[in-house]
């Protein structure tokens, strides 16, 4: 120890060493504060994004309505129009989004997303009523026929959201449906509960959208089938409808007519028209659309008579 020589400026070197040590200590503290702040920001950002994603998943419908409820409404063939429209009109706390339009020679089929600030009362229904519901085309002055269905057919996503499809038929048209036209829709009220009048939300939801005719949407079959005085005159398969024209004897006037596919799927009846002529009854039966994998239809009259119709 006695032989170790100390530098003459030992005091200055000691002071510098202490100063550098203090700077290093302060820098590490700053780094720790920066890292902690950055981590906090990342955590808040991550939580925010996660919350937004959860909210979007719970309250927003981002899919294609036609595709989502294809089996429910009986949509035959493709489940999308030429391009998604996604026009939204909001009145009195209820927003109505016209998402898509499919058109064939029998009608225009429109998909909607309905969102209400107030919850719907009965979310078990597969139908949402629309009041004062009118649709017209740019090539015809009269209102289109809603085909006996008073509103949207579909399903509830949650207590505030319903997705569904409305059908507007060209039943009384005397002119050919053009390749392109404009569809104008006006809806005057949407009931939150179809039973109670005080739950009706009144407004003026209007839409004007371009429509393109799908030339492959309708298939017409004239089977010329005759069995026990029952004659199948015509079968028409549209995108969302199955029309069957049949001639029956008077004895089958009161019999219930049902339609089942070869795969055992019961096709719901929408409406029926009858006309008596020369001791026969001409019946026009409108059913929902049929599944794409259907090869034949079985038309039954009560428990006694049934006829199979090949559609391939």
Q: Which CATH number do you get for residue 255? A: 2.60.40.1640
Would you give the DSSP letter of residue 93? T
Residues 70 and 192 in one domain: yes
Question: pLDDT tens, 136-151?
Answer: 999 988 899 987 677 8
The count of domains in the chain is 3
The neighbour count for residue 224, using CB atoms within 10 Å, is: 9
State the pTM of this model.
0.74
- DSSP state string for 118-147: SPPS-TT-SEEE-EEEEEEETTB-SPPB-T
Residues 239 and 255 in one domain: yes
Q: What is the pLDDT of residue 15?
A: 52
Domain finish residue from 186, 212, 238:
212
Residues 237 and 204 in one domain: no
Q: Establish if 4 belongs to a structural domain.
A: no
Q: What is the pLDDT of residue 258?
A: 93
**Left if phi > 0, otherwise alpha if psi is -120 to 50, otherwise beta: which for 39?**
alpha
Residues 117 and 181 in one domain: yes
Residues 42 and 89 in one domain: no
Question: pLDDT tens, 190-221?
Answer: 998 765 666 899 999 999 999 999 866 788 99
Lowest mean pLDDT: which of 30-34, 155-159, 179-183, 270-274?
30-34
| Domain of residue 28, residue span | 9-59
Domain finish residue from 168, 191, 212:
212
Residues 235 and 172 in one domain: no
Question: pLDDT tens, 267-280?
Answer: 999 888 889 888 88
Whether residue 47 is predicted with pLDDT greater than 70 in this model: the reply is no
Residues 122 and 161 in one domain: yes
Residues 165 and 93 in one domain: yes
Q: Establish if 175 belongs to a structural domain.
A: yes
Residues 152 and 49 in one domain: no
Lowest mean pLDDT: which of 22-26, 121-125, 181-185, 271-275?
22-26
Whether residue 250 is predicted with pLDDT greater than 60 in this model: the reply is yes
Residues 207 and 105 in one domain: yes
HSE, side-chain direction, 13 A CA sphere, residue 222: 0
Residues 184 and 297 in one domain: no
Residues 206 and 227 in one domain: no
Lowest mean pLDDT: which of 155-159, 172-176, 230-234?
172-176
Q: What is the pLDDT of residue 34?
A: 40
């Amino acid at each position: 120890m006695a032989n170790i020589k100390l530098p003459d400026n030992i005091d200055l070197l000691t002071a510098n060493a202490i100063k550098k040590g203090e700077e290093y200590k302060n820098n590490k503290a700053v780094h720790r504060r920066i890292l902690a702040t950055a981590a906090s920001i990342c955590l808040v950002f991550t939580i925010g994004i996660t919350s937004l994603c959860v909210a979007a998943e719970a309250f927003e419908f981002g899919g294609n309505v036609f595709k989502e409820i294809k089996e429910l409404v009986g949509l035959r063939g493709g489940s999308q129009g030429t391009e998604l429209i996604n026009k939204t009109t909001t009145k009195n706390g209820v927003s109505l989004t016209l998402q898509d339009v499919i058109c064939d020679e029998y009608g225009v089929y429109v998909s909607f997303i309905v969102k209400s600030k107030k919850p719907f009362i009965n979310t078990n229904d597969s139908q949402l009523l629309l009041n004062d519901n009118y649709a017209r085309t740019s090539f015809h002055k009269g209102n289109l026929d809603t085909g006996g269905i008073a509103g949207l057919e579909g399903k509830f996503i949650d207590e505030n959201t319903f997705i569904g499809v409305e059908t507007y038929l060209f039943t009384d048209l005397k002119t050919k449906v053009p390749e392109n036209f404009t569809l104008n829709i006006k809806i005057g009220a949407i009931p939150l509960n179809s039973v109670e009048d005080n739950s009706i939300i009144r407004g003026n939801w209007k839409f004007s959208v371009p429509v393109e005719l799908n030339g492959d949407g309708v298939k017409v079959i004239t089977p010329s089938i005759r069995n026990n005085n029952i004659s199948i005159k015509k079968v028409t398969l549209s995108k969302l409808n199955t029309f069957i024209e049949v001639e029956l004897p008077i004895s089958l006037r009161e019999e219930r007519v049902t339609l089942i596919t070869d795969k055992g799927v019961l096709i719901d009846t929408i409406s029926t028209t009858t006309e008596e002529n020369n001791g026969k009854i001409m019946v026009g039966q409108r059913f929902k659309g049929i599944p794409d994998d259907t090869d034949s239809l079985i038309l039954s009259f009560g428990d006694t008579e049934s006829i199979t119709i090949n559609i391939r």
